[in-house]
Amino acid sequence: MSHPLFDISGRTALVTGSSRGIGLALARGLLEAGCTVVLNGRDPGRLARAAEELGGAVHTAAFDVTDGASVAAGIAEAEERVGPLDILVNNAGMQLRAPLLEFAEPDWHRILDTNLTSAFLVGREAARGMVARGRGKIVNVCSLQSEVVRPGIGPYAATKGALKMLTKGMCADWGPAGVQVNGLGPGYIETELTRPLVEDETFSSWVRGRTPAGRWGRTEDLVGALLFLASPASDFVGGQILYVDGGMTSVL
């Protein structure tokens, strides 16, 4: 029997960017824990396929997390249709790899909008209801790169470092109203976003050698930490980033 502190059955959760990869795995974890889940992404077809794959208490809400008006309309519509959100996972994100001297200005704005502004926009809309109801859980998907960086991913690391501080800022503003905001920091996880790295054997063996756990992470590796941060077990945890990285951030 599981401990009641981890019981989140009956809660309603929105996971942004959940048509594939980490978001889809996190949505599956919440569903298996008894939540009603709302999947999000920009492509309605891909979302419908993901919902079918999961089955059960799954809904979809297609909107672009970088567009304030679409976010406001999308959250309002989802809450009307599915119910008030108890849990929000700000997961949608992207990667653009290029040396800083060659990094184009439009790309800088795109990655900032997708990885950082999105969490502000979606977080703010979801928190309106959570603050009014006096409870809620928000989990921002940060990264190993909230702490450390490698050549060619400076802009990505800048967005994830800023997301760590936005997590703390949300905790400061919404914690008093009973909303806990924390971050989940994945290490190197095999998904579409990291496919070029996985396929590069030199890089891939560097990851395995550099990670105390000796392997790449799987999307399912992140579910336990999410369930903790989404459940009453973390009611007195605020503004923390929980790194799930096989130990990588701890060792040189």
Q: Which stretch binds ligand NDP (CB under 6 A): 38-46, 99-107, 121-129, 203-211?
A: 38-46
Minimum CB–partner distance for residue 194 and ligand NDP (Å): 4
**Residue whose C-alpha is closest to residue 148's, from 21, 248, 22:** 248
End-to-end alpha carbon distance in the chain: 39
Q: Which stretch binds ligand NDP (CB under 6 A): 92-100, 175-183, 198-206, 225-233?
A: 92-100
Shorter beta-carbon distance to ligand NDP: residue 70 or 131: 70
Position 167 contacts ligand NDP (CB under 6 A): no
Query: Residues 30-63, buried b or exposed e (16+ Cβ, 10 A)?
Result: bbebebbbbbbbbeeebbeebbeebeeebbbbbb
Q: Which two tokens stand for residue 135?
A: 């409870």
Position 194 contacts ligand NDP (CB under 6 A): yes
Minimum CB–partner distance for residue 57 and ligand NDP (Å): 19
Candidates 156, 174, 188, 216; catalytic one: 156
Per-residue CA distances from 95 to 30, 82, 113, 210 (Å): 25, 31, 12, 21
Among this protein's residues, is 243 annotated catalytic? no
Shorter beta-carbon distance to ligand NDP: residue 42 or 168: 42
Q: Which two tokens stand for residue 80?
A: 């009307």
Q: Which two tokens stand for residue 36?
A: 């009603």
Sign of CA dihedral 204, 207, 208, 209: positive
- Residue numbers 63-82 binding ligand NDP by CB under 6 A: 64-66
What x-and-dash track marks residues 108-147 binding ligand NDP by CB under 6 A? ------x--------------------------x-xx---
Inter-residue contact 205 to 163 (CB < 8 Å)? no
Residue numbers of the site for ligand NDP (CB under 6 A)?
A: 16-23, 40-43, 46, 64-66, 91-94, 114, 141, 143-144, 186, 188-189, 191-194
**Looking at the annotation, which residues are catalytic?**
156
